[in-house]
Structure formats: C-alpha cells, structure tokens
Amino acid sequence: MKTQIISDTHGKHHEINIEKDLDMIIHCGDSTNYYEWMPNQKEFEHFIVWFSALPIKHKVLIAGNHDAWATKKYNIDRVKELGIKYLEHEYLEIEGKILFGSPYTPTFNNWHFMKDRSKLDKWWQVLVPNIDVLITHGPPHGILDLSRNRDNVLEYCGDKALLRHVLQNKPKYHCFGHIHNYKDCVNQGTRIYEGITFINSSVVEDGKFHYPPSSHGVIINI
C-alpha cells in the first residue's frame, strides 16, 4: 500500500502536499495546537474535515501531546463517524497489515497523553513481533530525537523503554514525530537501524509553527 506519513502539522495541514494515488495516510499526532489560553476545538474541526475529505481509502490518526481534543469522547466519536481510524494504544489490521498506534510520550511539563519515564516500560510490553507499522507520537531514544535543553545543551530526548521494545520486536516501520527540527538539530526524515525503518514525519520546525511546513512527510510502500 502506498502510504504517506505525516505528523505535527499544528494547524498547517492545508499547506501539506499530499501525494497522488495513495492507499493510506497516517498522522502521528499533534494535528492541532493547544495552550491553556487557546482552546483548539475550532482548529480540530478544521483539521478533521480536511483529513476526512482526502481521497484516500485508509486514514489513520493518533493523538499527540498538543491534541487536547482527543481527551473528549464526543470528539473521538466524531472522528470515527467520519471514517477515520483512530488509535489510542491499540492494534489495527488493514488489508492484512498490522498497525499499532499510541499517543504516549515521556512526561514533559503538563501536556496530554504523557507517562512517567520510569513507568513507560509496562505500557510498551503490549508490543509484539511482526508489526508492519508502529505509530507512536514520540521517538525512541537516540533516533531522530536530538534537541537542545533549556541550557542549550544537545541531548537525545526520546523514550528509552520504547527503544528497547522496538528493537526486541522489530516492526518493519516505526513512524513518529513530536521532536521537530530545531536550530542545528535535524530530525525530519528516515533512518534504518537494526533492520527497522524509523521515520520522523514532523512537518513544521520547533518554534516556527506559524511558518510554512519544512517537510511534507514521508512516502512508503507497505
């Protein structure tokens, strides 16, 4: 299946170039923005109408830490009514291919769908071998997850527990976003490691959510 992977569109979805003749599109979370002073319900509606109208047979979506809309059951119901396959730490089979999608990332400030780093291992124990596409919002540790901390020091900020379970179970593809390009840190794109294709599909750069996308995701054939 010809598939486009995108993530972290942050309200810029309408500026993304969508490939022609796709069989599936996967969004790895942060479709919207959320701040305490800026609810994102209207932005959610704009995104979900756009996403559901794409002329693509299979549309798969997970939430990210900015997606406050996904904490409301009526929004999840609306997503499903529009024919979008929403995954929240669960499996899905599409045309014989196995997908698993989860929004969970290590705790950082007071965002959504975050878990304490010391407790994430138990959440990833649900992963099994032979997954075709693993979809998480955040990256595994050390892979397309380089950023600078508050002291401007370079550091890998992905999930160590997730990395262990991914390397153990070896999905064909692991796609995610969450950690954007930032200053001299280039994370967008693809890396093959231990036979697994890792994809950071974030489309906007950190601190530049009001700028045009710097990427349009990644195309794969599953």
Q: Answer whether residue 36 shows pLDDT above 70.
A: no
Residue with the larger pLDDT of the pair 180 and 23: 23
Q: Answer whether residue 99 shows pLDDT above 60.
A: yes
SS (H, E, C) the chain: CEEEEEECCCCCHHHCCCCCCCCEEEECCCCCCCECCECCHHHHHHHHHHHHHCCCCEEEECCCCCCHHHHCHHHHHHHHHCCCEECCCEEEEECCEEEEEECCEECCCCCCCEECHHHHHHHHCCCCCCCCEEEECCCECCCCCEEECCCCCEEECCEHHHHHHHHHHCCCEEEECCCCCECCECCCEEEEECCEEEEECECCCCCCCCCCCCCCCEEEEC
Q: Which domain holds residue 18?
A: 2-221
Structure confidence at residue 211 as a pLDDT band (50, 70, 90): low
Q: Give pLDDT, residue 188.
A: 86
Considering the chain, what percentage of its residues have pLDDT values greater than 70? 93
Tokens 């064909």 correspond to 172
In degrees and rounded to multiples of 5, residue 196 shows phi and psi of -105, 135
Question: How confident is the model over 67-94, as pLDDT tens digits?
Answer: 999 999 999 999 999 999 999 999 999 9
Segment 57-75 mean pLDDT: 94
Q: How far apart are CA 126 and CA 90, in angstroms?
A: 9
CATH number of the CATH domain containing 13? 3.60.21.10
* Overall domain count for the chain: 1
Question: How confident is the model over 169-208, as pLDDT tens digits?
Answer: 999 999 999 987 666 777 789 999 999 999 999 998 765 5
Considering the chain, what percentage of its residues have pLDDT values greater than 90? 74
Residue count of the chain, please give it.
222
Report whether 43 contacts 11 (CB < 8 A): yes
Residue with the larger pLDDT of the pair 18 and 152: 18
Q: Give pLDDT, residue 100.
A: 98
Q: How many CB atoms lie within 10 A of CB 118?
A: 10
Q: Give pLDDT, residue 51.
A: 98
Highest mean pLDDT among 31-40, 53-62, 137-146, 174-183: 53-62
Q: Give pLDDT, residue 115.
A: 94
